[in-house]
Structure 1
Amino acid sequence: MGAIEAANKNIKNILRKMIDNYKDWYEQLPYTLLGYRITARTSTGATPYLLVYGAEAVIPAEVEIPSLRIIQEAELDDAEWIRKRYEELALIDEKRMIVVCHGQLYQQRMARAFNKHARTRVFQVEQLVLKQIFPNQEEYKGKFAPNWQGLYMVRKVLSGGDVLHSLCL
């Protein structure tokens, strides 16, 4: 699943909860989207807002009750503020590279966790096998859809455990 599909799925789940819990959900939508954009992702270790703009967002509560970060920036003169912003923009690429490295490490951890529970199977030529039907296949949906299809004969075992098969009638 791509990153866009995952983001859309998360936003859709948030909206579904809002529709169930709030009568005027459309008034809460901007706050919900802001919350989504400023929440750090486990896979990247950063917020989407940081990745786009190179700095963390100022949330509405920080405007009313200034945080230490806001107070420090308010005390800067214009030239110093511009210099600081320029330095932050120069660091955006570095921050993005750190996020890419974090994402790669996250993927490796997830692969190790998955592979720890995966069983390797060795297939032999002329062995009879069934093919698993995955839930995202359009023609096989629903409660009573089969989990397996066909009866296949292994014709050739390739390196890495992949097999070439043909349908047995």
Structure 2
Amino acid sequence: MPKISHRETPFSLAYGTEAMIPVEIGSPTPRTQLTKEENEDDLRINLNFAEERREAAARRETEYKKKMERYYNSRVREVKFKVGNLVLRENEANMQENQGKLGPRWEGSYQVIWAGDKGAYKLAYHIGEEVPCTWNAMQLRKYYA
């Protein structure tokens, strides 16, 4: 199957030609009607153009990834917390204890004591003791008290 990102099959990028399925071998198609010498000539020609196909596929894949990045970034909602805000921390981010699927997903509340540039935050317990790690905004949720 051709990949959506570059519209080529992995086999064709590796070998320069499309693979033949067993049904195609038994039926009369232009590929099976060629003589052995003509078939080898066609394969050599396809191998000569394989590098060009790979480069074109790489270009298309890069364009596709940029398009997907623009789509994602246009819909992502950035979350920012200020120093002093109360937040909950995702329980899975802590990784101390697996409580199963019925366990709480969020733990806390914590107070933000430092806010970094790219979504990094330092937290503290209510008693003033600092939590050892920095936490990403994706692992935090605003706590409404």
The TM-score range, normalised by the shorter chain, is: 0.5 to 0.7
Instruction: Indicate whether 1:156 and 2:118 are aligned.
Output: no
Deviation at 1:48, TM superposition (A): 1.8
- Cα gap change, 1:149/1:106 in structure 2, threshold over 3 Å: closer, same or farther? farther
Of all paired residues, the percent bearing the same amino acid is: 28
Task: Name stretches of at least 5 consecutive residues in structure 1 with no aligned partner.
Answer: 1-38
Q: Which amino acid aligns with 1:166?
A: L
Query: Quick check: 1:128–1:153 contact (8 Å CA) kept in 2?
Result: yes
Question: 1:26-70, CA deviations, whole angstroms, 9 ceiling, x for partnerless residues?
Answer: xxxxxxxxxxxxx11213321121122121101111111132343
Question: 1:2-45, CA deviations, whole angstroms, 9 ceiling, x for partnerless residues?
Answer: xxxxxxxxxxxxxxxxxxxxxxxxxxxxxxxxxxxxx1121332
- Count of matched residue pairs: 125
Task: Name stretches of at least 5 consecutive residues in structure 2 with no aligned partner.
Answer: 127-145
Rounded to whole Å, the distance in 2 between the matches of 1:141 and 1:105 is 43
Aligned to 1:49: 11
Instruction: Indicate whether 1:121 and 2:79 are aligned.
Output: yes
| TM-score normalised to structure 2 length | 0.66
Deviation at 1:133, TM superposition (A): 5.0
Query: Quick check: 2:112–2:124 contact (8 Å CA) kept in 1?
Result: no
| TM-score normalised to structure 1 length | 0.58
Task: Give the structure, 1 or 2, with the largest relative contact order (CA under 8 Å, sep 6 or more).
Answer: 2
Aligned to 2:130: none
Deviation at 1:151, TM superposition (A): 3.2
Q: Which amino acid aligns with 1:112?
A: R
Q: Which has the higher strand share?
A: 2
Tell me which of 104, 114, 133 is aligned to 2:62.
Answer: 104
The structure that has the greater radius of gyration is 2
Q: Which has the higher helix share?
A: 1
Question: 1:130-159, CA deviations, whole angstroms, 9 ceiling, x for partnerless residues?
Answer: 233569x79547431433234333333333
Question: 1:62-105, CA deviations, whole angstroms, 9 ceiling, x for partnerless residues?
Answer: 1111323433xx05x62x54443222222222222222222222
Cα root mean square deviation, aligned:
2.9
Aligned to 2:125: 168
Query: Quick check: 1:140–1:146 contact (8 Å CA) kept in 2?
Result: no
